[in-house]
Amino acid sequence: REREREREREKQRETEMRRKRFHDDDFASKKRDVLRRGRRLNSRFCRLLLCLLFLLLGFVSVEQSGLEGGRCAWWLCGAFAEDDHFGGRHEQKTNNHAILVDASRFWFNYRHAANTLAIYKTIKRLGIPDENIILMVADDYACNSRNVRAGEVFTDDSGYENNVYTEDIEVDYRGDEVTPANVLRVLLDAHYYNSEEDESDDDDGSVLLNLPNSKRLRTDENSNILFYLTGHGGDEFLKFQDQKEITAMDLQNAFTKMREMKRYNELLFVVDTCQAGTMFKRFNGLRNIIAVASSMKGENSYAHGTRNDIGLAVSDRFTRFLYEYLKRDNAEEITLREVFQRAQSPQIRSYLMSTVQVDWSNYVDGRQLGDVKVGDFFANAHSRRKKSRTFNAQKSNEKDEEAYATILPGFATASAFTSA
């Protein structure tokens, strides 16, 4: 009986510690949310003041210089009322969100964190704000004692220019918080903690967590979602921290519920792991989902190479191809079909040493496939509308070759690479 009582007390202590971590350890995240709301209110207030100013200026111009002068001021008033920068029409437009997950811990999985951070930097550069990004990193490689470049994470074999762990990084889930259960909670916005079993889907007797908005995926039926996963995987599963796993059936059930809850408009699912194509093997009856995998069943997903000062591979080949491809000017205007057809070309396939698999079968209610662009998932719609340049196909091809020149030449033999 004493042992049973001791186990009960230990379980209660663990429950309290976990609640404290979720409730008290997120003060900084809550503070960021308050500051962001304040900035939005300030922008709307400034927009209102400017509209009133130009409206008054219009009436004054009518009295002094006639109707034409008033029309000019009233036009400026309307322009500020609808301007994206001041919170105008874009608030009703499709909004883009991202969930980026590094599922691996331990030092030798450095490249999986670098993959995730490289995609994070890419979508931030293309305009998606931090409040629309859920970033999950299973281990803190930047502060690992074996990292000779403390506080930095690199994606290149040499040089120190491409540090992806900069001061503007906002990691929402780190360490032990990166679990299959938390990934599913984020997808469904069902943040409950069950004291009996963390993986339980039954919310009876569970506690609703008071999480800050930065840990929640705040989407609606107009939201496009980029869902990126990287780590060690196998046939229909992806391992989390070498202890737990998320399966293809888990994702099938989650996406079905998300559609019923009107949690998304379109979803791009990208997974970089061994046998990655099996992760959407169970995707049946879903709507508006595009799935992309770095490898097919029975194939490995290979790392790019080894960095001498760190002694490890610093990126996986498929993810490296993806973020290098998106470094081009006006990358958000490229179609997804073009990107993944290029990934399946003989030149890139020989570099990847695996077959990129793309599944469009669940995109039955969406647009024509040739109309789906990179910016529909990797960029912010507001930023895209502000650009007035047209897309030049010839210039794109030139940039394309420059990008591949940084990836492809002078590679070692296949034996020099490690599998994911």
Q: What is the set of active-site residues? A: 232, 274
Which H or E element spans position 219? none
**Is residue 256 a contact partner of residue 286, using CB atoms and an 8 Å limit?**
yes
- 313 in Cβ contact with 110 (< 8 Å): yes
Strand-pairing partners, residue 245, are 239
- The tokens 């990287």 sit on which residue? 230
274 near 295, Cβ under 8 Å? yes
DSSP class of residue 391 equals: P
| Dist CA 257 CA 260 (whole Å) | 5
Task: Reduce the DSSP state of residue 98 to 3 states and report it.
Answer: strand
Decide: helix, strand or coil at residue 78.
helix
The whole-angstrom separation of Cα 188 and Cα 217 is: 8
Structure tokens at 10: 């230990």
Cα of first residue to Cα of last residue in the chain, in angstroms, is 47
Q: Closest Cα partner for 17 from 6, 9, 5? A: 9
- What are the residues whose beta carbons fall under 8 Å from the beta carbon of 162, sequence distance 6 or more? 154, 155, 156
Torsion angle defined by CA atoms of residues 122, 212, 199 and 193, in that order, rounded to the nearest 10 degrees: 180
Rounded CA separation 388/373 (Å): 16
CB atoms near residue 34 (< 10 Å):
11
> DSSP readout, 50-71?
HHHHHHHHHHHHHHHH-HHHHH
> Do the bridges between strand 133-137 and strand 173-174 make them parallel or antiparallel, or are there none, so unpaired?
parallel
Query: Across the chain, how many H-helices and E-strands are there?
Result: 12, 14
**Residue 351 carries which DSSP code?**
H
What is the 8-class DSSP label of residue 389? P
- C-alpha–C-alpha distance, residues 301 and 418, integer Å: 9
